[in-house]
Copies of this chain bind each other. A is one copy, B any other.
Amino acid sequence: MSGRKLLMGMVGGGRDAFIGGVHRAAAHLDGQVNLVAGCFSSDPEKARLSAEDFFVAADRSYSSYEEMAEKEASLPVGERIDFVSIVTPNFLHAPVAKVFLKKGIHVICDKPMTTTLAEAKELKKVADESAALFFLTHNYTGYPMVKEARERVRKGELGRILKVVSEYPQGWLLDSIESEGQKQASWRTNPKKAGASCCIGDIGTHAENLGHYITGLEIESLCAEFTSFVEGRELEDDGNLLIRYKGGAKGVLYASQISAGEENNLSIRIYGTEGSLTWYQEHPNELKFIPKGQPAQILRRGNDYLSEEAQRFTRIPFGHPEAFLEAFANLYLEAFRAIRDRLDGKEPEQPYDIPGMKDGVYGMAFIEAAVQSAASNEKWTPFPDLA
C-alpha cells in the first residue's frame, strides 16, 4: 500500500444521477479514496450543489472537463487527482477520456466505451500512447460468483462449452418516459447521445460481456432482431440475438427494456459437455452448478469450497449477502491496486481482474454488428475483425 488514500475526480454524476452515485459508493466503500475534484454537471448551480453534497472544495468543482484536466494535471502528485471516473452519457465518454489520458491521469470509464466502433478504435490509440491506465466498468464481472463461474470453466468442470443463454430483461422503458422528460431515458433513447443502439448498447452489451468474461468465447457471427415497441422511439428497446461462437458453440442472447415487471434481471446459463452453470444477477450470492448426472449444487459466496479468485473479492462471511455495490467496488479495488502499483513502481502480483480498453473495443464491435444485423436480410452478420 502506498500509505495514503487515493485522490479521485469525477466527470458527470451530479445530484440525482444514477450511475455517478454508484461509482462514488463503489469507490468509497473500502475507505481507500477521497473524492477531491469534479465536473459534476453542465449546469453550474447543480455542479456547485453537487460539490457541496460530496464534500468537494469549491475551487476544485470545475465547470468544464478540459479545465479540470488542465488544472489537476498541474498539481503535484499527492495533491492532484490520481484518477478520474467518467460517468457521463455515452457520447462524452471518448472526448473526456482522451483529455485525461493525454494528461496522464488514469481513467475509470462507464460503459459502453464509446458511441461507435471507429471512435473506440481511436480512443484505443490515445490510450496506447498514454502512460495512464484505462478501466471500463463492466461491473457485473465484479461479482464473486461470476468469478467463480469463470474459474469453473477454466478448470474444465463444464467440459467443452456448447451453449450460452444470456438474458437481460428490464421494463423501465415500457412507456415513453423520455417524452415526459425522464433524464436517463431521454439520452439513452437519443441516438446523438447514446449511439446507434439503446437496449443492446446499454444492457445487451453487459450480457455479452458477462458471457465473454466467463467463457472466453468469441463471436463468429450473429443474427439480430431489433424492435422499437414504443411509438416514436428512434432506437430499439428490445433486441433478440442468435449467436454462433468460434469453435461451434451457440448462443441465445436477448435484452429488453419493455418487459413489464422485470427490474434488472440479467442472467446467464452456460452449458458444457460435463455440466452447466446458472447465475442470476438479482440473487448474486448464488451460483448453480450441475455436474452432468449429479445433483445441482448451490455454490454460495464466502464458502471455503470456492476458488481463491472468488474469495479474493469477498468482504464478509457467507450468509451476509453482498450485492451490486460491492461487486462494483471490486472493480475499483482492482483499479486501485493497479494505480497504487504504478505509484509505487511495482509489478502486479497477479493480473488485474478488471475490464479495460480491449473489452471496450470488443463491446463496441458487438453493438455495431448487432445494429448491422438488425438492419440486414442476411441471416448471419460476421463479427468485425479486430486484429
Copies of this chain, whole number = 4
Known: A52-B1, A250-B240, A322-B323. A276 touches B259 (CB 8 A): yes
Residues of the B chain whose Cβ atoms lie less than 8 Å from the Cβ of A336: none
Roughly how many angstroms separate A378 CA and B260 CA in the complex, as a whole number? 32
Chain A contacts with B in 279-306, Cβ cutoff 8 A: 281-285, 289-300, 302-305
Chain A contacts with B in 148-195, Cβ cutoff 8 A: 158, 162-163, 165, 167, 169-172, 174
A275 at the interface (CB under 8 A from B): yes
Among A21, A29, A321, A324, find the residue whose CB has the most chain B CB atoms closer than 10 A: A321
Chain A contacts with B in 211-259, Cβ cutoff 8 A: 223, 225, 227, 229, 238, 240, 242, 244, 250, 252, 254, 256, 258-259
Roughly how many angstroms separate A380 CA and B120 CA in the complex, as a whole number? 32
Binds B, one of A86-94, A100-108, A129-137, A265-273: A265-273
A363 to chain B, nearest CB (A): 20
Roughly how many angstroms separate A378 CA and B380 CA in the complex, as a whole number? 9
Known: A28-B30, A290-B261, A324-B320. A295 touches B304 (CB 8 A): no
**Nearest-CB residue, chain B, relative to A19:** B316
Residues of the B chain whose Cβ atoms lie less than 8 Å from the Cβ of A30: 25, 28
Interface size on A, as a range, is: 35 or more
Roughly how many angstroms separate A55 CA and B2 CA in the complex, as a whole number? 10
The one of B263, B305, B323 that contacts A294, using a Cβ cutoff of 8 Å: B305
Residues of the B chain whose Cβ atoms lie less than 8 Å from the Cβ of A262: 271, 276, 319
A258 to chain B, nearest CB (A): 6
A224 to chain B, nearest CB (A): 9
Known: A55-B4, A250-B225. A163 touches B298 (CB 8 A): no
Known: A263-B318, A276-B262, A318-B264. A31 touches B22 (CB 8 A): no
Determine if A264 and B320 form an interchain contact, defined as CB atoms under 8 angstroms apart. yes
Determine if B275 and A260 form an interchain contact, defined as CB atoms under 8 angstroms apart. yes
**Known A29-B325, A240-B242; 13 more pairs at CB < 8 Å:** A3-B55, A22-B320, A169-B269, A261-B290, A262-B271, A262-B319, A264-B317, A281-B319, A284-B321, A289-B295, A296-B297, A298-B298, A321-B323
A5 at the interface (CB under 8 A from B): yes
Residues of the B chain whose Cβ atoms lie less than 8 Å from the Cβ of A350: none
Chain A interface residues toward B at CB < 8 A: 1, 3-5, 18, 21-22, 24-25, 28-32, 35, 52-55, 158, 162-163, 165, 167, 169-172, 174, 223, 225, 227, 229, 238, 240, 242, 244, 250, 252, 254, 256, 258-265, 269, 271-276, 281-285, 289-300, 302-305, 315-326, 376-380
Determine if B263 and A300 form an interchain contact, defined as CB atoms under 8 angstroms apart. yes
Residues of the B chain whose Cβ atoms lie less than 8 Å from the Cβ of A281: 319, 321
The one of B1, B272, B274 that contacts A53, using a Cβ cutoff of 8 Å: B1
